[in-house]
Structure 1
Amino acid sequence: MDAQKSGIRQQLEALAAQGKIGARQIEKLLALTTSGFCYHNHWGVGRITTMDVVLARFSIDFPNKPGHHMDLSFAAESLKPLGRDHIYVRKIVNMDELRQMAALNHLELIKLVLKSLGGKATLEQIQKILVPDVIGDDWRKWWEAARMEIKKDGHFVIPAKKTDPIVYNEVEISLQDRLMADFRAAKGLKARLAIAAELVKNLPELTDPKSAAGEAINTLNSEIATHQRTQPATALEAIFVRDDLRSASGLPPVEGEVTAGDIWTQPDLKVAELFEQVPATKHRRMLQSFCQFNPDNWHVAILNSLNTASAKLVSELARVLIQNDHLNELKETLARLISQHQASSELLLWLARERSDTFADILGPEVFRAMLSAIERDQFNERKANKLRDFILSDQSLLVELIGTADIDVIKDLTRALQLSPSFDDMDKRSLLARIVKSYPVIQTLITGEQTARQETHLIVSWTSLERRRQEYNELVQKKIPANSREIAIARSYGDLRENHEYKAAKEMQKLLMNRKAELEEQLLRARGTDFSNVKGDVVSVGTRVRVSETATSQSETFTILGAWDSDPEQNIISYLTPIAQALIGHGVGDEVEFEFHGGVKRYKIEHIAPVFQPAAPLVVPETAPSAPVASASESTGQTTAIAGPATSTPEAPAAPMEASAPAPTEPAADLPPPQLNPPSGSAA
């Protein structure tokens, strides 16, 4: 080997004499040639296969550049020689041996990596080298096992911060010496807390745990006293760690030391602000401590802190309130802040994420209004505003659930508020409005400013059928939709919505219920109730009974033409919207009419017309469902006579029905039996 190395040196010296390489490059090139492996910053690890002394160049196999030629002078400046024991070389030469080492000897593998990288490396660097070539399985599980071994070995130093490097020392240092050295060298109370927490975890492994704990406790006590008023959150964290050290080591309290109670009872202490200054993992313990030292008014302080806390902290605060039977106060506070549009973005973000059955009576359209106000209020605090805005946009079901039980007027107001809100750009507004329209198609006209012919046309209906539709609507919004919302909340609590069949089924039912709700609202807005008492009987109109004979067979039939929802085929009662009714309306006795029937044409001759009398409008009309004006049967000719209020051509502002007195009954024709139509309960005969 020495002879070979000597021969290579002579060749390199000859090249230097010829001016092909620099004299100072000889040692570097000799190291590269001897090791046979190199590292390039861009191309990675390479194997030097040949050195051509005639052309003064290497031939190197890089991972993506096999057989690459490189001038010796350039190689001396750009390549780093790698020894045979380097981790990069070992991965090329003997990968199986490394994999066996990873399975059986964690410490040796970590030691190899660290020594290859100059004695220290971050966890990220170690992972990048070993995964997936050497360690193909669960890296986290492997590292946890290796970390436990490393902590017990005195050659390794594991830093408190994950971003700091792990260090390998040739000389072994005891765990206690390492931790105490780090504790003494730490700058500031925050840094010492991290080391003190490690002391707590490793106290049983130390050679003299009482000595180490005692020194740490005395140091912490000294710093807690100086931080008590200026940095109460840090002081409180230190108190918790100090108490843990004392508990683990069995040492008694020090007389006069600052306690958690001293922190919590300080005047003008801002509880929520203090909580926000500590990691979320410590919120629960801090809450327990706060409640312990404020047994009488802790819940009042927590309720007052809700609107200034982050969403994560609100979750903990709410949990403590609920567990200690303060749910009603929590809901009252939420309802007040929401109704006054004072709820913070973070509080509303927590409520939107929570959406449990516990808060079903609070979650409604007013929450969305409060969200718009909060986002507008936080327009100069992009971080807060963006979190809530992004959640509203990303959660496809949130808006639909919030407006699920609202009536159409509230939905219209919300739609206008969203359209005018500066909180969302045009694209996001369109996305949110599309969700509203999907549940409430009638809102489409408000968004587009267009009116369809169907929406402009009123529906003439009897009071009985109108009452039935109202009852269906009321049952839908008061029972079925709330019950479905509870089912969704319960199903969501099961987790993993992708495989949650109960959640999917409940959401499908929600879609059906919301579509039916929108359909009923549109119908009720267009509906005009009538008792058919103003029908004259000289021509066929809504509210008349007509006897006709088919011209082809002379067969006689009697039809009662009533409102849009009054059809009863068994009694020959038909809606005025049916083809046969539309063909008959406007014609008198003796007229012949024809209409298409099952692909053919039927021709009828009108023999007799008589009005149908139905008692007057109801005295009381339920207010839950959209109100419908009273209309006369003359609407069948396109005229709208609103008895209870002004006529309208659009459903946006229908007049409310009012009590109406019925005229004297019209005597029905003797040969035409009256239809069985009963007025709704509460109507006046």
Structure 2
Amino acid sequence: KELIECYSGKYAGHSRLQDYLKLSNISQTYRSLHEAMDDFEKHIVFDVGNFVFHRTWNIGRIASVKGDEVTIDFAKSRGHKMSLKMAIDSLMPLAKEHIWVLKAIWPKDKLREKIKTDQAWTLKTIIKSFDNRAELKRVKAELVPAVLTVSEWNSWSTKAKEILKTDPSFGNAADDIATFIVRDRPLSFEEKVYIQFKAEKSYFDRVVYFRDYIETNDFDSEYFSEMLTYFSGFLKSYQTVDEHVIASYLLLKELATKYPRIQQQVAAAKFADLFAEVENPLSIYLNMKDADLRNAYILHIKNFIPNWPEIYIKLLPYARSMRMLDALKNADYSAKLKKLGMDIVENYKDYREAFIWLIKDLRDEPWFAELGIVYEKILLTLLHILDITWKEIDNHKDTSENRKVNRLVQNILFKDKVLEQFLLETNIETTERVYALLMDIKEVDPAIKIDIKRKISEKYPNLRFFGEEEKLTVSRGLMVTAEKYEEKQKLLQKIMEEDVPANQKEIAFALSLGDLRENAEYKASKEKQDELNARVGKLKNELDRARLFDKTTITTSKISFGTKATLINELSGEKEVYTILGPWESDPAKDIISYLSPLGKKLFNHKVGERLSFSIHDRKFQYLIDSIEVAYF
């Protein structure tokens, strides 16, 4: 009776309250109260004006509920009718403030303006839309590209991260620090930072939160005492001196210079004594995931370790610090710097970032000039690094590091036009040699290759790019026209930006239905996900293999890509005309055939006047090549 009174008060304005109370048998003693409550709460969400989500028809609004029949207005299926039982099984109820609802009913410009200017509101809306739990990648999935562009997201997310960090209305889930929640009771900034500190597992992420807390100047709280004890504990008890011990010393010493009351935590320790127990100074540096602590580590080595130059030489290829470089020059270590430079050049595969730093920032150093590195060798090495990093990215080896190096090299070679300038200023033999290496790197944007090739052709009209015709049929390459390439890119973009997010919503809806073992919606959504993943994989593979065809290279001296061949069929006496393009452009009904098709392969590379006789699938062909002209496409 009390529960019925509670529900009656909560849903006083609901048009079907009494019907649903009756349907759930909540007043009957023979029924489990928990089952009756669950049944009632499944029904009560269905009322006129409420929003729902269907995995096929997307967002809809309940137009009427009459007896056992529910009528929903979907954008593409207005007045859609279904039984109440089917509605409960197949529809996900949505609050009117749910982000999916807002994207469906708000004018796009209004929603875009609200989201762009009010990050806090947007974050609360999206987090609450998903059971008050959402990671930043979930937020991004809802906003990009539907509302914000990728570049707009970059600046928007920077502000959003600051809000999540400082706004007391937001917190982190107890089981996952990367998941954000909206709090019923706002936390103080000190509480918020402490909770984040405790939830974080990474030592160096805890350093960040500790520094944030220090800024509050609240040194008398238990929060501060517990965080301080965490770091000082590394100095009081250790078996080996690792990056955590050294970092704790440097962190507490850094804070002690600003806040003398912390001095006692580091007074007993000395950097030289700790460093004497370090087995591998480079390992300490590489594992210290904090830029300020790394700089402090380097500075302390110079100030407190007598043989610091020898250590600096070992660290320099990884630290790439101008301060370290100047210190070594002032200590008259130019000869060893020169030797280090040669080691980096000769072992560039192991020193990729160091090589880039060397040729980008240190080329004006006197000792660099003494290395005698030919500029062509620098560019060839950069191209080789580009090739290596792409292969390792494909093999999922050190992916983030390789992508970083890859971007650096591409910026130097292509964005800064260093390669293009060199090729246009050097002699024809060097141009031909370097360009050949560029052509062998299949991942380089075909548009870049074509643009460089066009400019080389303008300077050296008689230069022949040997082997290009033969490269048309290599297994890893696929010649395509620019139009078809763009069409495939748009198709991939549509799948990634429209179909995949829609499928994610379907899976989210299916998960909300409970038991996955007999959940037809979940199985169907996962099957569709597998299908989309397969299509994406196939398209990406095709685009990776694609080689944009340069129309300026069409030759009518033989049947080749981009030509139209007129043949005389000597068996029938009739003329046959075929346009030779690629598999993507192939349209046999219009006599456009692929150069990789059985007939295309037989015709390819033959000249006017030649007679051809061959069989395909036991059918005989006999042709005389009458003429070859440029095809228009």
Q: TM-score, normalised by structure 2?
A: 0.50
Q: TM-score, normalised by structure 1?
A: 0.47
Structure 1 or 2: larger helix share?
A: 2
Pair member with larger Rg: 1
